[in-house]
A and B are shown apart, each in its own frame.
Chain A
Amino acid sequence: MTATEMVRAENVHKSFGHLEVLRGIDLAVATGQVCCVIGPSGSGKSTFLRCINHLEKVSAGRIWVDGELVGYRERAGKLHELREREVAEQRSRVGMVFQRFNLFPHKTAVENVAEAPVCVQHEPRSAARARAAELLDRVGLADKLSTYPGQLSGGQQQRVAIARALAMKPKVMLFDEPTSALDPELVGEVLDVMKDLARDGMTMIVVTHEIGFAREVGDLLVFMDEGVIVESGEPRDVIANPQHNRTKAFLAKVL
């Protein structure tokens, strides 16, 4: 693989018991690229994202992030599982944003953001809080530092969640339908933050139903169905003239 590739997946399979959810995914995302993933419900989009930071173990195939094999070490042609500590360290370099935010409800916004730097990277508490405040300012929440998640709107919560992931200085950000749980009028504020991030050169893999976002910001659009990548390419091309019938049918529904 080349040095400019941030994420690379080769023939990734994943089964839950007899259910084969991923059936051979190949994907390469270059550093600084924004890759948008679309596809019908149950096609395996979330599962694939979760495989990238080893929240799920792949059944077959390999994934590399920044040139490093995810979850395993290859020695003399044999795969060895990484220890918990090593897996945690790999994960700390991959930011993840969830559909349901998953903020820590017992911690204020600034504590949510500062938690992992203090806990995982052993950053001094005061420095971490100062950096957390900067990040919250960057996502437009400078006035909500000591507010608990329960008192924030969905859009604000999701922006805190993005700041929380950024606090670990990740090399790549994974977004799993970040705007699907939001009221329509709150979607824009979250997408704006993500556009900012993309402009700053963050490598991003975004599962989304926001075709407009994919067209505007995406460098690569991937259409997944039934555990395989059916079609991928320049977002404008794929959206304007999809090659496969399944892609056409799906786009007709969401556009």
Chain B
Amino acid sequence: MTAEKVAERVRPEPIRAVPVRHPGRWVAVAVLAVLVAMFAHLLATNDAFKWSFMVDNMFRPPVVEGVRGTLVMTVAAMIFGVVFGVVVAIMRLSTNPILKSIAWVYTWFFRAIPRLVLLAAFGNLGILWSRLELGVPFDTEIGKLFGIADVQLRFWGISTRDLLVGFVVGLLGLGLSEAAYMAEIVRAGIQSVDPGQAEASAALGMNRGQILRRIVLPQAMRVIIPPTGNETIAMLKDTSLLIYVPVTAELFFRLDGIGKRTFLPFPMYVAATLWYLFLTSILLVGQFYLERYFSRGYGQGQRATMRLRGLRAEQGGLRPDPGGAP
């Protein structure tokens, strides 16, 4: 077809069709509006909420301190979990059968136990030992075997009451449990990377550590980040379980305490709900930016460039010249 012929043709009238109607949507909107109104009515008129009491107590210094404690614990437990989880995942993927089975048993054990039970048990670890000591195992027993009484080969010790303060126990419990879940996530991420990547790196002379750190893990991140974000949010919520250790510098412990002391627990639970909603929302925003960073070089970035190009075309960058095809 020549350019002239194209130019001669008359442009057809734009389509003006009757759009498809969606009556169901309007019914749904009406039903929802009624439900929302009912809920608002409940919030506004039911005295049990005690809004002013709640607001007064929600931002008191001990509660804000509890929020800080919750955030610190979330971050610390996640760092513990991620670092240890990566180690366990690498053990799980190694060719060494001993490391492999240790990693398997670890994830099996910690994934099988509810966090609540784990934390409650950890809170009572002090019962097992009054002192924690580093030395040769079975030293006294071995001594008896050779007829020497009371042999003690211990190099270093600390009283468990000093060591097992609530925060450390809570961190240990949450971190160890998290590491088991993170190990599975990291393993899936590493396995999702094309083996050709490791092969190409090896062919360039990189060693296993370099390949893992510089090539495989960064690519695995794209798969690892979204579930890790979810884990972080779950962790933030699970810090409320620390009340069973107990850890005192923690949001739910503080609000629960006020509720019990004033015999008004319900408003304080509502306050906890609002706090957790707020904190979780902040984490969601952070997750969005992290995901965007680690998907660079992949589909989403490409799509964004396409969108930019399209924009430029609309602004006249690629406008077809008058004689050319439309």
Which A residues fall within an 8 A CB radius of B? 53, 55, 84-85, 88-89, 91-96, 98, 100, 102-108, 115-116, 119-120, 148-151, 161, 164-165, 168
Report yes or no: B208 in contact with A104, Cβ–Cβ below 8 A: no
Additional A-B contact list (5), CB under 8 Å, known A91-B203, A104-B200, A148-B301: A55-B199, A91-B205, A92-B204, A120-B204, A165-B203
Return chain B residues, CB-CB under 8 Å to A98: 196, 199-200
Which residues of A are found within 8 Å of B299, using beta-carbon distances? 150
> Which residue on A lies nearest to B210, using beta carbons?
A119
CA of A102 to CA of B202 in the docked complex: distance in angstroms? 12
Count of chain A to chain B residue pairs whose CB atoms are closer than 8 Å in the complex: 77
**A168 and B204 form a contact (CB under 8 A):** yes
Q: Which of B21-29, B32-40, B213-221 contacts A (4 or more CB under 8 A)?
A: B213-221
**A105 touches which one: B202, B203, B297 (CB < 8 A)?**
B297
With A and B bound together, what is the CA distance between A55 and B206 in angstroms? 12
Q: Is the interface of A mostly helix, strand, loop or mixed?
A: mixed
A116 to B214, CA, bound (A): 10
Tell me, rounded to whole Å, the shortest Cβ–Cβ distance linking B211 to chain A.
9
Q: Does B94 contact A (CB under 8 A)?
A: no
Q: Which residues of B contact A (CB under 8 A)?
A: 194, 196-197, 199-208, 210, 214-215, 218-219, 296-299, 301-302, 305
A13 to B219: give the CA distance in the assembly, Å: 35
Chain A residues with CB under 8 Å of B214's CB are 115, 119
Shortest distance between the CB of A31 and any CB in chain B (Å): 21
The reply to whether A106 and B205 contact each other, CB–CB distance below 8 Å, is no
- A219 shortest CB reach to chain B, Å: 24
Interface centre among A98, A105, A150, A164 (most CB of B within 10 A): A105
Question: Smallest CB–CB gap between A125 and chain B, Å?
Answer: 13
- A106, B219: Cβ atoms closer than 8 Å: yes
How far does the Cβ of A227 sit from chain B's closest Cβ, in whole Å?
A: 22
Cβ-defined contact, B204 with A115, below 8 A = yes
With both chains docked as a complex, state the minimum distance between the C-beta of B160 and any C-beta of chain A, in angstroms: 42
In the complex, which of the residues B200, B206, B207, B218 contacts A106, with contact meaning CB atoms closer than 8 Å? B218
Q: How far does the Cβ of B90 sit from chain A's closest Cβ, in whole Å?
A: 15
- The answer to whether A88 touches B219, judged by C-beta atoms less than 8 angstroms apart, is no
Inter-chain CA distance A228–B203, complex, in Å, is 24
A168 proximity list for chain B (CB < 8 A): 204-205
B residues within 8 A CB of A148?
A: 296-297, 301
* A91 and B202 contacting across the interface, CB-CB below 8 Å: yes
Given A105-B219, A115-B214: A88 and B197 interface contact (C-beta under 8 Å): no
CB within 8 Å for A116 and B305 given contacts A104-B215, A149-B297: no
CB distance from B219 to the nearest CB of A (A): 6
Residue of B nearest to A84 (CB): B207
